[in-house]
Amino acid sequence: MQLLSKTFHGLEDILAQELKEIGAQNIVTHKRAVAYEGDKAMMYRANMALRTALNVLMPIKEFTIENQNDFYEQVRAIDWGQYFKVRKTILVNATANSPIFDHSHFLELRTKDAIADYFSDKAGRRPNVDKENPQVRIDVYLSNNNCTISLNSSGEALFKRGYRAHHGQASLNEVLAAGMVLKTGWKGQNELVDPFCGSGTILTEAALIAANIRPGSYRTQFGFEHWNDFDRKTLELVQEEDDQKKIEVPILGVDNSPRQIGFSKANIQGAFLQKYIAVQTGDFESVQGEDERGTIITNPPYDKRVKTHEIDRLYRRFGDHLKQQFKGYDAWVLSGNDHAIRNIGLKTNSRTVLFNGPIETRLCEYKLF
């Protein structure tokens, strides 16, 4: 079957590589999405294993439309009863980039009406909409005249891993944090340090990678469990493919906010990773490289509301500290403040544009000699 996963800008290649590793076929990268093929087990495996996918969609119909009525008729003509029962609660999520529907909300309403009318005809009743915790999610994508209707096999977005107890003030999205770590190539081969660890997202996602723990193993439910064709045996077999390993290197985080360190501890415990990750309250200057080789992956503050000279000074101090205390390490710094990051004062080895929500950021790599 055809499948599609959405991701963030800049992570398409990483997601394609992840798909290759789990055995997906005919992988094609698009803007903020990757298309691929696989059987039902692949769909379940993708939901369990992918770190940089926001969801796993199964397209069920592609068509072109000339007007709003065409859209309604095409959606109503889908045999919805083949996919789920009328007693399931539903929610439609639409993205519209078309003069035919200039509001995605209206597209969602028309989709919901068409599905409700289909079930009224066939079953004499309509499915209820649940905005908080729907059992079946339907995804609509309209670009000019071209429309794709998909079922979302993930349910809640896959960045909601299920381990997080607290969000920090500026917590990274789990998918972005995992994508950063995968881009660095760190898989547990040397010490990892995050000197601005906040709520611990980078540390936790890195430990999941090093221990080969699939992010889906924390989830209690996936959307596909509400579909007519749900196959528990296949899901159990995919769950049994688990191949965790021990982490042999230290993973360490500091943050100067005790509150953030409290969040970190709760999140790390939520993922059962406290035996691998140590966090403590302190200034970034309180940690030094303890080894000949190591990796720093971090996301310092870049709040543009903070006075420029203070942010510039913080980055200058950080650059000096890296040079003096982390010789032999590779440092990867994600920042949304282009001006501030120049104050690190180190030669940039590589630079990748990533989006942290709406904020354009750069992941800069430095080799420390």
Ligand X SMILES: C[S@@+](CC[C@H](N)C(=O)[O-])C[C@H]1O[C@@H](n2cnc3c(N)ncnc32)[C@H](O)[C@@H]1O
User: Shortest approach of ligand X to residue 219 CB, angstroms?
Assistant: 20
Least CB distance to ligand X at residue 173 (A): 8
| Nearest CB to ligand X, comparing residues 250 and 301 | 301
Mind spelling out the 3-state secondary structure of 223-266? HHHHCCCCCHHHHHHHHCCCCCCCCCCCEEEEECCHHHHHHHHH
At 34 the three-state DSSP class reads strand
Q: How far apart are CA 361 and CA 151, in angstroms?
A: 31
Sign of CA dihedral 125, 126, 127, 129: negative
Rg (CA), the chain: 23
Q: Which residues of this protein are in contact with ligand X, per CB under 6 A?
A: 168, 170-172, 196, 198-199, 201-202, 254-257, 260, 283-284, 299-301
Report the chain's terminal Cα–Cα distance, integer Å.
Answer: 50
Q: How near is the Cβ of 85 to ligand X at its closest, in Å?
A: 39
With tokens 């936790």, the residue in question is 204
* Residues linked to residue 260 through DSSP beta bridges, in sequence order: none
- Could you tell me if 70 and 84 are in contact, meaning their C-beta atoms sit under 8 angstroms apart? no
Q: Which residue is nearest to ligand X (CB)?
A: 198
Min dist. Cβ of residue 329 to ligand X (A): 17
Residue nearer to ligand X on the CB measure, 227 or 302: 302
Give the residue among 258, 251, 359 at the shortest CA–CA distance from 298.
251
Of residues 202 and 364, the one with the C-beta less far from ligand X: 202
Q: How many whole angstroms separate alpha carbon 141 and alpha carbon 127?
A: 22
For the bound state, the minimum distance from the C-beta of residue 268 to ligand X, rounded and expressed in Å, comes to: 12
- Our CB check for ligand X shows the closer of 29 and 343 to be 343
Nearest distance, CB of residue 205 and ligand X, angstroms: 9
Which of 3, 202 has the CB closer to ligand X? Answer: 202
Cβ distance to ligand X smaller for residue 152 or 264: 264
